[in-house]
Structure 1
Amino acid sequence: MSTLDVRDLVCGYDKTPIIGPLSFAIPSGEITTLIGPNGIGKTTVFKTVLGLLKPMGGEVEIEGKPINRFAPKDFARTIAYVPQNHVPPFPFTVRDVVVMGRNPHLNELVSPKESDYAIAEEQLELLGVTDLVGRDYTELSGGERQLVMIARALTQQAPILMMDEPTAHLDYGNELLVLEQITKLRDLGYTIIMITHNHMHALMWSDTVVAMGRDFFAVGPPGEVLDGNTLTQLY
């Protein structure tokens, strides 16, 4: 069963197509990785699926419903986004950063309640980083900051998580830590769509791979898609 369906999608900026047409389905409750060379358009596809860019062709549906028919708050309760890099302009505490994920569940101009903070702290506990709750977010290590951003996404209580290179700029130990937590979330039933620049991450940690090259496109299990021929075509 697919959670998200992309059909003949063309993505780009200022009326200039960057990539497409693409067609693929994101299976429910699995980790799907998008892989391809730098500049191919992986983040552009993400932005289009997230509704930040209008598709230049084709469509995206979630559970059979086109994304342009979602009200903004309903969409935010359906998909949560973890950016590649995030540094807030003010030194918020980790607790305050994570509770920002409750915004889709709050009325306008209403502050989070204790129940919202409780949900935020549950996600930090799930990821094993409750000791960070009172820390200044801007003073965290890269791995800690990435786990906090995942906790913020979980606080939205959306079933689909989209992550743009969640292990970028991390050392090997923190890469493993973040990937292990992502696998844990998959096992809890989340549908995870993840961009990666590392084909070994796609091979070892994903259930489905979407491989995108300049004249190449393939979708399937990592062991079938990521062979020598694919990597030659991609890179």
Structure 2
Amino acid sequence: MWKGIDVSDNQGAINWAQIPKNVDFAILRSVRRSGKADHQFAANLEGCRKRNIPMSVYKYTYAATPEAARQEAQQVVALLQSYGLTGTMVWWDVEDKDVLRPLGAAKLTECIRAAQEVITAAGYSFGLYVGLYVYNEHWFDFNAFSGTRLWVARYYKGYRTMLFADEPDQSYKPPGDRWLTVWQYTSCGEIAGIKGDVDLNISYEDPAAWTQHVAEFGVIYTVSVADVWTRDQAEAIQQQLAPLGVCGVVHKVQILE
């Protein structure tokens, strides 16, 4: 397992020189609701680079339409491109109870898929962040994102402080009926270099694998055989390829080693 933190300008200025060497990854907030970069993004990115800490980003979404979701995703892509970041994992944070919950599963699924298409088309990886309540209440169609990495928040000690060195009780790990990549186990973490609370996480996969390089997977091509394959089959393949940066309607796929 790998342990890490996720941070934003809510943590203020972080002293990355004091961040422990055993921090295996960091997830940085990308853009704010305004569409502008998180106030500490540049400093946090530089801190990760200097300490060789694998990093990814997250975007808290407020998008209630596919058009708004595409706009949010384009803002994230523009930010990453402006810093020369390639293949970076973008975690799509789906948890807003006021805006997203009332949409219903079908509409919210459509919004998330619109964001995914923009992000993967730009060559970035796409993952989903949800609170356990979102998962349990089936806010959207999780099956529509089969193969997509999942980051779930489940806190089990309330607002009691947990040190970074503390090991979370694995019996509280979120449900495992789909592949769980990251567990955010507290929002009240304490770690050197950060004043106040910080979210602490465990990854069950090496975070270095979150950055996808399509070339590593060989040559990918598609053949249109729509008269043979059903739409459901085509969409299932599309979801499997999305983490590799391949988007669009895919009817048939052959991977050449």
> Whose RCO is larger (CA < 8 A, sep 6+)?
1
Range of TM-score over shorter length: 0.3 to 0.5
Specify which structure has the higher proportion of helix. Answer: 1
